[in-house]
Amino acid sequence: MTVEQGRNAKGTRGRPRSEAVERAILEGVVKLFEDGVPLADISVERIARTAGVGKATIYRRWSGKEEIFVDVLRGLEEPPATLPGTSMRDDLVVLVERIRRRGLNMRSSALLHNVFAQMKSLPKLWDVYHETVIEPQRRVVRDVLRRGVENGELRADVDLVLANELFVGPMLVRAVLRPNDPLDDDLAARIVDTVLEGMRPRK
């Protein structure tokens, strides 16, 4: 998925824009990343200079560099998962598998690994990324779990917020915190099936 496709996937902000200019700005940020410029040293002025545009052009589209960074990172991610809808279990496997693939992508991309490592030292950027990227993904998982309760696939007394963490947490640990651990092709299914053993309705 390209940066521009990621940008288009989330819709427009309601004001006219030139796609060529916007693409130049986003690709300018990627170039700075690739050149090894630390996130903290990338200013709107520097982005404008790299992209060959004025700062006012950037501020007409984004409120600050944090929003630009998030749009760049969103564009480098895979597109939203298409859920099969056959069962809660099948939908969860697809969602957890997406995390596995993201982990593989980060392991193979020094650029992504470096950027995400630096994000932790920039609380404002992390907050924006969490609000606009991570939280929507969590809502999708919670919606799947909620449908599972309604369909009788999941016990009604299960804490859905905690269940969300139990399903995605093991993959995040394996993919992000323990980069030397294997990410086997069947890992998503194994995680989902193991967690479900303790959450299915009691007979």
CATH top-level class of 79-196: mainly alpha
Tens digit of pLDDT for each residue in 77-132? 778 889 999 999 999 999 999 999 988 888 877 777 788 888 888 888 888 888 88
pTM above threshold 0.85 = no
The rounded distance, in Å, linking the Cα atoms of 149 and 201 is: 9
Question: CB-hemisphere CA count at 13 Å for 142?
Answer: 11
Tell the CATH superfamily of the 3-75 domain: Tetracycline Repressor, domain 2 (1.10.357.10)
H helical segments located in the chain: 3-9, 19-34, 44-51, 55-59, 65-76, 88-108, 110-119, 123-129, 135-150, 160-172, 187-196
pLDDT computed for residue 58 by the predictor: 96
Indicate the domain borders of the chain.
3-75, 79-196
Structure tokens at 102: 């993201």
pLDDT computed for residue 150 by the predictor: 96
Structure tokens at 104: 């593989």
pLDDT computed for residue 6 by the predictor: 52
Residues of the chain with pLDDT under 70: 1-17
